[in-house]
Amino acid sequence: MNSQINDGGQAFPIAYPESHSIKVSGMSLRDWFAGQEKIDPSEEFKLGLLEALAGPRPVGSWSSNPLAWFHWSNLWQAKIKFARADAMLAARKEGAK
């Protein structure tokens, strides 16, 4: 497996005048794609997938351990968004229409 992630390059590249040095910074296209991705509340994910993405579920319940559950929930959602962004970049590279 290739350990280097294709970030798609700059999402919003800026052309600087010749008198300025070019600095590469900011959001990658991968970050942009992931940020635009929405998880539909009606989507159902198997617990095994969520634990594979974000690790074991926190101990206790949402009411007894809300910060741990909040962190775990956001972590698996972010991982899904980046997986979808990676798929978009791969399709883009293959010339999918």
Q: Does some domain include residue 7? A: no
Which runs of E-coded beta strand occur in the chain? none
Q: Does some domain include residue 16? A: no
Q: Does some domain include residue 22? A: no
Q: Does some domain include residue 13? A: no
Q: Does some domain include residue 88? A: yes
Q: What pLDDT, on a 0 to 100 scale, did the predictor assign at position 2? A: 53
Q: Does some domain include residue 65? A: yes
The tokens describing 32, both together, are: 């942009």
Q: What pLDDT, on a 0 to 100 scale, did the predictor assign at position 97? A: 59
Number of domains in the chain: 1
User: What residues contact 62, with CB distance under 8 A and at least 6 apart?
Assistant: 69
Q: Does some domain include residue 84? A: yes
Q: What pLDDT, on a 0 to 100 scale, did the predictor assign at position 1? A: 46
Q: Does some domain include residue 12? A: no
Largest CA distance in the chain: 59
Range of the domain at 37: 30-94
Q: What letter would DSSP give residue 11?
A: S
What are the mean pLDDT values of the chain's consecutive 10-residue runs (97 residues total)?
Answer: 72 67 72 93 92 95 96 96 94 79
